[in-house]
């Protein structure tokens, strides 16, 4: 919050930001559902689905969970296990693909 | 002895200077453990999906679950709008948005129960196959988290109606919100890996 803005103005702008994030989440979800009904190459569709999922999760964490404005320590606490899980899953899938 | 006390004092001051609220820090640490919990279940599901392709996944209703996903995302919006409201001192607004959060969470659970019953009618159960086991374990645990969130939202609403929380004191609402949004993020990932890919 800037020193020049009142709490109500700041709150209104924050609510507007949350509505915009919600609109983005809703549009991405609608695109995902529409894509399941369209005939798109599986490899392209899967890459897009993963990118959309990452974008949606990032939007929720950054704006709804306020990681964008809050202490970076919270971000580190949350991201460390995410990185570990991604590394573990990748190694496991590579191992499964080798058999 | 004096120097020992000073060291502790300095450490305490350093901790306070980080501006970390212990309730929020506790919730973030809990969510980190939840990432590992769901990460294990998701990794297991992906492993079976890659090694034992199942024709049963064709029975999944992507449209229904897509609508349910929209319901859960909307409930997340309700939580942040409730937090925005109490930060402006609007307790009535917080009560309304918390009520809507609990309602939308219950609608999500209703959709999940409907989906489970439909799959059971198609012969897909917890013990029918590897797909059934991994699917119901993963989505069932997520549903349990939503149920806990609905109860938590209702309890928080009860506190609001008894006069709790204000523009200066709303960390309890924020901590509940962190939990609810995390459950939303988990569903965003599950929706992708179970229903879309």
The answer to whether residue B14 sits within a structural domain is: no
Per CB-CB distance under 8 Å, the chain B contacts of A33 are 62-63, 66
Residue B112 lies in a domain: yes
Q: CB distance B66–A32 less than 8 Å?
A: yes
Number of domains chain B contains? 1
ipTM entry: 0.89
Does some domain include residue B3? Answer: no
The token pair that represents A61 in the structure block = 């964490």
Q: Are B135 and B128 in contact (CB under 8 A)?
A: no
pLDDT tens, residue by residue, B120-158 = 999 999 999 999 999 999 999 999 999 999 999 999 999
Closest alpha carbon within chain B to A27: B70
Q: Is residue B4 part of a domain?
A: no
Q: How far off is chain A from B2, nearest CA to CA, in Å?
A: 31
Q: Secondary structure of chain B in the HEC alphabet?
A: CHHHHHHHHHHHHHHHHCCCCHHHHHHHHHHHHHHHHHHHHHHHHHHHHHHCCCHHHHHCCHHHHHHHHHHHHHHHHHHHHHHHHHHCCCHHHHHHHHHHHHHHHHHHHHHHHHHHHHHHHCCCCCCCCHHHHHHHHHHHHHHHHHHHHHHHHHHHHHHHHCCCCCCCCCHHHHHHHHHHHHHHHHHHHHHHHHHHC
Q: Is residue B86 part of a domain?
A: yes
Question: Which positions in chain B touch A74 (Cβ < 8 Å)?
Answer: 20, 24-25, 28
- Cα B166 to the chain's mean position, in Å? 24
In whole angstroms, give the CA distance from residue B68 to residue B74.
10
User: pLDDT tier at A89 (50, 70, 90 boundaries)?
Assistant: confident
- With an 8 Å Cβ cutoff, are B77 and A49 in contact? no
Interface test with A, best of B20, B52, B181, B190 (most A CBs within 10 A): B181
- State the smallest CA–CA distance between residue B126 and chain A in angstroms: 23
Q: Is residue B12 part of a domain?
A: no
Q: Identify the residue among A78, A83, A91, A94 best suited for mutation to test binding to B, counting B beta carbons within 10 A and taking the highest.
A: A78
Which CATH number does the domain housing residue B130 bear? 1.20.120.80
d(CA B135, CA B45): 7
Query: Degrees (nearest 5) of the Cα angle A22, B38, B27?
Result: 70
Asked if the C-beta of A84 comes within 8 angstroms of chain B's C-beta atoms, the answer is: yes
Sign of CA dihedral B160, B163, B165, B166: positive
pLDDT for res B101: 98
A81 contacts B35? CB cut-off 8 A: yes
Distance CA B142, CA B148 (A): 10
Q: Is residue B16 part of a domain?
A: no
pLDDT band at residue A18 using 50, 70 and 90 as cut-offs? very high
Residues B67-107 have pLDDT tens digits of 999 999 999 999 999 999 999 999 999 999 999 999 999 99
d(CA B184, CA A56): 10
> Which residue, chain included where needed, has tokens 């939580």?
B79
Confidence band, pLDDT 50/70/90 cuts, at residue A3: very low
Q: Which residues of chain B make contact with A8, given a CB cutoff of 8 A? A: 88
Domain ranges of chain A: 1-68, 69-99
What domain range includes position B69?
21-196
Residues B44, B167: Cα–Cα separation, whole Å: 44
Mean pLDDT, to the nearest integer, of A73-89? 94
Summary mean pLDDT of chain B: 92
With cut-offs at 50, 70 and 90, classify the pLDDT of residue A54: very high
The nearest alpha carbon in chain A to B24 belongs to A74
Residue B9 falls inside a structural domain:
no
* Predicted local confidence at residue B15, as pLDDT: 57
């Amino acid at each position: 919050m800037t020193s020049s803005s009142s709490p109500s103005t700041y709150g209104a702008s924050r609510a507007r930001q949350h509505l915009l994030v919600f609109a983005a989440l809703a549009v991405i979800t609608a695109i995902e559902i529409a894509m399941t009904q369209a005939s798109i190459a599986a490899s392209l569709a899967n890459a897009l689905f993963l990118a959309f999922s990452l974008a949606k999760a990032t939007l929720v964490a950054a704006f709804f969970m306020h990681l964008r404005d809050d202490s970076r320590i919270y971000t580190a606490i949350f991201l460390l296990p995410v990185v570990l899980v991604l590394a573990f899953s990748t190694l496991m899938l590579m191992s499964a693909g080798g058999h | 002895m004096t120097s020992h006390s000073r060291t502790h004092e300095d450490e305490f001051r350093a901790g306070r200077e980080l501006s970390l609220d212990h309730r929020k820090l506790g919730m973030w640490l809990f969510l980190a453990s939840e990432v590992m919990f769901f990460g294990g279940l998701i990794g297991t599901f992906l492993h079976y999906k890659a090694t034992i392709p199942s024709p049963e996944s064709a029975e999944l209703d992507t449209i229904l679950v897509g609508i349910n996903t929209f319901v859960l995302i909307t409930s997340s919006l309700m939580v942040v709008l409730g937090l925005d409201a109490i930060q402006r001192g609007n307790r009535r607004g917080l009560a309304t948005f918390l009520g809507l959060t609990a309602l939308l969470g219950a609608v999500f659970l209703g959709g999940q129960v409907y989906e489970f019953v439909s799959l059971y009618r198609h012969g897909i159960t917890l013990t029918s196959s590897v797909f059934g086991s991994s699917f119901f374990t993963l989505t069932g645990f997520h549903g349990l988290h939503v149920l806990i969130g609905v109860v938590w939202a209702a309890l928080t609403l009860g506190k609001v109606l008894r006069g709790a929380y204000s523009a200066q004191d709303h960390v309890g609402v924020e901590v509940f919100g962190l939990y609810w949004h995390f459950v939303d993020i988990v569903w965003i990932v599950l929706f992708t890996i179970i229903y879309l890919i």
